[in-house]
Each structure stands twice: as C-alpha cells, then as structure tokens.
Amino acid sequence: MASLKIPKRISMALLNSLGAGVVPRVGLEYIAVGRKNETAAVLRDLANVAEGGAVFRFIVGRYGSGKSFMLQLLRNYAMERNFVVADADLSPERRLTGTNGQGVATYREMMKNLATKTRADGGALVSILERWISGIAAEVIKEAGISSNDGRFNDAVEAKIMEVVHNMEGMVHGFDFATVLSTYWRGHRLGNDDLKASALRWLRGEFTTKTEAHSALGVRVIIDDESWYDYIKILAKFVSDIGYKGLLVIIDEAVNLYKITNTVSRQNNYEKLLTVFNDTMQGKAERLGILMAGTPQFIEDSRRGLYSYEALRSRLAESRFVKDGLQDMAGPIIRLNVLTHEEIFVLLTRLSNVHTAHYGYENALKSEELQDFMQEIVNRLGAEELLTPREVVRDFITILNILFQNKEVSFSQLVHGVNFQPTKAGKDPEVDEDGKFAEISL
C-alpha cells in the first residue's frame, strides 16, 4: 500500500491532540470513520440553511463517544461549503445567560473563533468586513466603470454599502448593527484605525457600558446577555448578503448547563435555549444553523436536564416509534451510537498510517495485531460497549509512540503484558448525577 501523504504540520497536530485526548482542529478527514448517516443529515441541514432556512440540532453521546470530533468535522465541512462558522465551548464562565455576563461571554468566544475557509483558525471578523468592502469596490469598478482614482468612486461604494446596511435595519437591533458597519466603512475610507477598532470592539461585544459605546460610535446600545442572540441572527443575514452561504454556530460542552447548581439560573438558561430553539425551528431566523453537543444526561435527566423543563421535554422527547436501534435523522436530536468493531479497526489502521507517515518508518503492525489490541481492551474492561473512540485512540497512540521509541519492545509484550491497563471510559467526574445534594440550590 502506498504511504500516506500528509503535511507534517497536520500529522503533528493530529497525533498531539489525539494523544492528549482532545479533538484536533485540522486533519480530521485523514482519520474520520463511520457517522455517515449523521453527517449526511447535517449536510442536508446546511443545504437548507444555504437556501434561506434555519436549523437547530443536538448532537448527543456519552463521554468519549466522538461528539466533539463530529462537531469539528462538520465545522470543516461547513467552511469548505463557504459558510461562516462560530464555535464556543460552554463553561461556568460561558453560558447562554447569567447575572455576571456569562451569555455575552459566550458570544465573545464565538466572535474570537469566527472562521471562514480562508481563516480557518478563527479571528475572521476583520477579513469578512474587508472582503465585503473590497468586493463592493470591485463591483463598482466593474458595473459603473469608475476607477478607484475617480472622485465619484467613494460615493458609489458608499451607496452600495448602504444597500446592504438598509437590508438589516428592519431586524431587531438591526439599525444599531447597520450604524456600526457604516462607521467601520467610514474608518476604512478615511484611514481612521481608531474608528475601525471601535467598530470591531462593538461587533465583538467588548463594550461594557452604553456610555462608552455612544462616545466612541454614536450608538446607545451594546451587545449584552439579553441581546447577543439577536445579533447572531443579524450576523447570519449579513454574511449571507455579502456572499457566504450562511452562519453555522457550534456550541460544545452543553453539559455545563446541566452542572449549574442553582435551579433558577439553570432554568433561565433552559428558557434562553428554548427561545433559540423555537426561533430556528419556526423559521424566524434565516441562514442560521446551530449545533449543540451534550451527554444523554444533559438531555434526559428529569431533575436537571432539558427534560426538567417541560417546554423543552415536549419538543425533544422521541416518538415511541424510534426503537430497535432506529433513529429519525430529521428530528432535533442526533444520537451518536458506539462505533462498530469494524469502524474502530479502520480508525486504528488510519491512525497507524498517520503515525508512520509522520515519523517516516515502515508500518510493521499486522491486521491480526490490531484485532488483538481491540480484543484485549474488551477483555480487560469487560464490555465491548465501553470501546469509546477517545479511550481507544489515546491508548493506541501511546502504544505506537512506545514501539517507535523502543525498538526492542514488541507489540505483543505491550498489549498482553500484565502492566497494560486500558483507559476506562466513564462519567464526567464533575457530574454527580445521583448525588444526595444534587438539587440543592445555592
């Protein structure tokens, strides 16, 4: 078999990330296996978003099942299809709403991670705005036959920019968003970097007081916990108006909402989630896709999960016809099942190929040895359903590293030795699902 051709930068990112138990940002296509139906369902969603629709999907699976990997793979697919992507991991400091700015903190994280095909690492807000302006300038030159040196050029460009801006003024908070875009254009035209920087600060949600925003930009509102989702909708329309297919928002680690100990605070976040869910599913948003990943407990726990909020439970509860391993891929929840034995075998083969390509040696592992590795893990953990990708991959990368660094050690010695202890899959140690004090509000 021909050796794998993969850039060193990507193979290093893959091996380092997977060896540490985290999902890499790049190179996922080299190791992706399975999830064909799930991926196809979301790609159909993206096609609908590109036609002007909106969608909200929950990606659900237990720890280590590949939720974050799936999200990153979909993120890359979306960018390849000319979507703008904004992603954020929830945490105690980043929620959907809160009394200490936790909601707008999530928005800021999204803006920091805003990405496009040409700016896949994030920080794409400036390039999006500059592309918008340069695109309009090129359009004016082509359509009006006016050169950039012509005295009428700036007026013609501004007229085109105002067309896009006026399209947003009818939306909630659209006028203020449009005013800030106009200010950015004015700073661009005048070469005023301070004006551009102030506009960017506002768009990123970095102003903390209305007085400060009014002084810098002449607007009397700021992006805050109450309004940040409205601006996500406006951003989705804006990017689609200037040539992108739409906006995909990815929210990972949603279990952090489940972890909120204060009942009122948790319910407030679920109420915000319900608002966003209804907005997208009822067609009130345009060109917007939202993916949120969480564990089954986050969805189904009747005390603290989404099912504890009746309005969400009634929307998310699965039909009685969804059984015997069947799944409704058109429903709001996509459940990630455990990878099959064959899929894990393909995954290990691809990881081995990446490792040999990166370090430049001949792959000596046989198919039988890969089978032995999987069987040994099953034997020692006691159940095949515990074979989650995260634990298997971490152990396998470690074995590949040891074999490469210690030529005298054999695969059989490592895997069948008494000291080999597979990494156990399990619950998040921070979540006490059945704890005596789980429902006490602080």
pLDDT tens, position by position, 132-183: 888 888 888 888 778 777 778 878 888 887 777 777 777 888 889 988 998 9
Q: Residues 82, 117: contact at Cβ < 8 Å?
A: yes
Last residue of a domain, one of 282, 314, 335: 335
Same domain, 320 and 261: yes
**pLDDT of 391:** 75
On whether residue 303 sits in a domain, the answer given is yes
**pLDDT of 327:** 67
Last residue of a domain, one of 308, 335, 362: 335
The one-letter code for the residue type at 309 is: Y
Residue 412: Cβ-neighbour burial (10 angstroms; 0-12, 13-18, 19+)? exposed
**pLDDT of 268:** 96
Give residue for tokens 């058109």: 330
On whether residue 67 sits in a domain, the answer given is yes
On whether residue 436 sits in a domain, the answer given is no
- What gap in Å lies between CA 158 and CA 245, rounded to an integer? 24
On whether residue 233 sits in a domain, the answer given is no
**pLDDT of 102:** 96
Ramachandran assignment for 97, one of left (phi > 0), alpha (psi -120 to 50 degrees), beta (any other): beta
Length of the chain: 442
**Among candidates 34, 58, 33, which has minimal Cα distance to 45?**
58
Helix (H, G, I), strand (E, B) or coil at 219: coil
Q: Residues 27, 10: contact at Cβ < 8 Å?
A: yes
Q: Residues 69, 23: contact at Cβ < 8 Å?
A: yes
H/E stretch holding 350: helix 341-359
Same domain, 160 and 111: no
Question: Computed from CA positions of residues 374, 379, 380, 382, in that sequence, does the dihedral angle turn out positive or negative?
Answer: positive
Helix (H, G, I), strand (E, B) or coil at 382: coil
- What gap in Å lies between CA 384 and CA 426, rounded to an integer? 14
On whether residue 225 sits in a domain, the answer given is no
**Among candidates 348, 351, 268, 274, which has minimal Cα distance to 17?**
351
Same domain, 327 and 344: no
Helix (H, G, I), strand (E, B) or coil at 335: strand
Same domain, 109 and 248: yes
On whether residue 248 sits in a domain, the answer given is yes
Same domain, 271 and 302: yes
- What gap in Å lies between CA 238 and CA 165, rounded to an integer? 8
Q: What is the pTM of this model?
A: 0.84
- What gap in Å lies between CA 373 and CA 280, rounded to an integer? 45
Total structural domains within the chain: 3
Q: Residues 280, 56: contact at Cβ < 8 Å?
A: yes
What does pLDDT average to in each consecutive run of 10 residues of the chain (442 residues)?
A: 77 88 83 86 95 95 82 93 96 95 97 95 94 86 79 81 77 88 89 95 95 92 95 95 95 94 96 96 93 93 94 82 62 83 86 90 81 76 61 84 86 73 53 40 30
Q: Residues 192, 95: contact at Cβ < 8 Å?
A: no
On whether residue 209 sits in a domain, the answer given is yes
Question: Computed from CA positions of residues 327, 332, 338, 343, in that sequence, does the dihedral angle turn out positive or negative?
Answer: positive
Task: Domain of residue 365: give its range.
Answer: 1-34+339-426
On whether residue 228 sits in a domain, the answer given is no
How many CB atoms are closer than 10 A to CB 121?
9
Last residue of a domain, one of 282, 307, 335: 335
Q: What angle, rounded to 10 degrees, do the helices at 210-217 and 193-203 form?
A: 150
**pLDDT of 145:** 79
